[in-house]
Amino acid sequence: MPSNTRRFLLTLLLGLILIPTAPLFAQSTGVRINTIVIDPGHGGKDAGCVSRDGKTLEKNVVLDVALKLGKRIEEAYPDVKVIYTRSTDKFIPLDQRAAIANKNNADLFISIHVNSVKNNASARGTETWVMGMHKSASNFEVCKLENSVIVLEEDYSSNYQGFDPNNPESYIIFSLLQNAHLEQSLDLADKMQTQFRAGAIKKDRGIKQGGLLVLWKCTMPAVLTEIGFMSNAEDLKVMRSAAQRDKMAGSIFEAIKKYKQAYERDLDVVTSPTTIKPQGEQNEQGKYRIQIFASTKQLSPNDPAFKGLKDCEAITANSMFKYTFGRYASETEARKDLPYVRQYFPEAFVTQISK
């Protein structure tokens, strides 16, 4: 094991012990997508892959698709913040791309690239990557290719803790890391591939997992998409057309739209209460209630003040009537119904009654 690799693994192990795992706040639905980071691969001195005639550069294709995508998002969702890791032909180190997303508390990170293979001009199509451990030699080749750009960065050895993009041992880190956002990343990747199948380049090469440095430190759902092959004549023709590039941006946009709808859906739907006890039923355990308001007047159960909310009860306290909803054995149980009650009474809160 070369000392570089040893140093890398040691740093990794220390990191696993010392760095707390990323918060799992985006674990389920009910997450609002406020900020989207779009990451056009390569840039500046790093051209990415280049067409055989040298006329088409990955960095230009992906920048154009990225800007077209951002424009669509901004038009459709004026309240969503779109951040580009680069919006011009500029070199940005891989670790800075993730840092931009993390610093801005992005809810999604989408890196856009173009694929290329030597000696196989027939390989074509789109594929979308999520962070993980590569499962085949060809997947490893793609990771090596995309990661190798770090050698163009100054101090890459120290910035990536000795990571060597060409050394398989360096990739052990990706089998040890827990990916808190894998499920959502896979979901977005799936939605993107579905849209691509109806888009400008229809050949679907699927979802892949690999150790891509640009995704490594992202603390939100993150994907890297390869929108076609520079080394394939048909894909190249598509990528050279501005209208087709717009269609590609459209496919990614549709996937984001579907993702956003799915994840934000639960914010609008409030679950109906599960623990309503029939009025009058005595429940010694049910000393937690949701207080909806207090009044000096005693109201009948059908009073319009209850806004149609059933099963409200009055609790007398110091010549006041506290009106409550539900009976719960625990505060946790009561909190589950709070969103339902707050639809009617935004100020409602959980209270404990003394008997």
Shortest approach of Zn ion to residue 117 CB, angstroms?
A: 13
Give the nearer residue to Zn ion in terms of CB position, either 132 or 228.
228
CB of 28 to Zn ion, least distance (A): 32
The smaller minimum CB distance to Zn ion, of residues 236 and 309, is found at 236
Binding-residue pattern over the window 269 to 298 for Zn ion, x denoting contact by CB under 5 A:
------------------------------
Distance of alpha carbon 284 from the chain centroid: 44
* 265 DSSP assignment: H
**Bridge partner residues of 126 (DSSP):** 204
**Distance in Å, CB of 146 to Zn ion, minimum:** 5
* Stretch 174-233 residues interacting with Zn ion (CB under 5 A): none
> With CB under 5 A as the contact rule, which of the stretches 64-72, 106-114, 228-236, 317-325 interacts with Zn ion?
106-114
d(CA 60, CA 55): 10
Q: Smallest distance, Å, CB 229 to Zn ion?
A: 12
Maximum CA pair distance of the chain?
88
**How many residues make contact with Zn ion (CB under 5 A)?**
3
Judged by CB under 5 A, the residue of 33, 38, 41, 212 near Zn ion is: 41
Binding segment for Zn ion among 108-116, 122-130, 214-222, 258-266 (CB under 5 A)? 108-116
| CB of 286 closer than 8 Å to CB of 219 | no
Residue range at the interface with Zn ion (CB under 5 A); choices 41-49, 100-108, 119-127, 303-311? 41-49
* Contact indicator for 87, 67 with CB cutoff of 8 Å: yes
Shorter beta-carbon distance to Zn ion: residue 142 or 341: 142
The window from 71-79, 113-121, 125-133, 154-162 that contacts Zn ion (CB under 5 A) reads 113-121
Amino acid identity at 176: L
DSSP classification of residue 199? S
Q: Considering the rule CB under 5 A, would residue 132 count as an interface residue with Zn ion?
A: no
| Residues 205 and 129 sit within 8 Å (Cβ to Cβ) | no
Using rule CB under 5 A, residue 48 touches Zn ion: yes
Question: CB-wise, 57 or 82, nearer to Zn ion?
Answer: 57
C-beta separation of 158 from 262 below 8 A: no
CA distance 24 to 298: 46
Q: Which stretch binds Zn ion (CB under 5 A): 33-41, 161-169, 233-241, 259-267?
A: 33-41
CB of residue 74 vs Zn ion: minimum separation in angstroms?
Answer: 25
In whole angstroms, what is the distance from residue 345 CA to residue 268 CA? 16
Amino acid at 61: V
User: In this structure, how many other beta carbons lie within 10 angstroms of the beta carbon of residue 330?
Assistant: 13
Q: Does 113 participate in binding Zn ion (rule CB under 5 A)?
A: yes
Quote the tokens at residue 292. Answer: 């909806």
Q: Which is nearer to Zn ion, 61 or 312 (CB)?
A: 61
Smallest CA-to-CA distance from 74 within 248, 253, 224, 252 is with: 253
How far, in Å, are 17, 171, 306, 314, 322 from residue 317 at the CA level?
53, 65, 19, 9, 7
Q: Which stretch binds Zn ion (CB under 5 A): 36-44, 92-100, 117-125, 331-339?
A: 36-44
Beta carbon nearer to Zn ion, 58 or 187: 58
- Please report, as ranges, the residues that interact with Zn ion according to CB under 5 A: 41, 48, 113
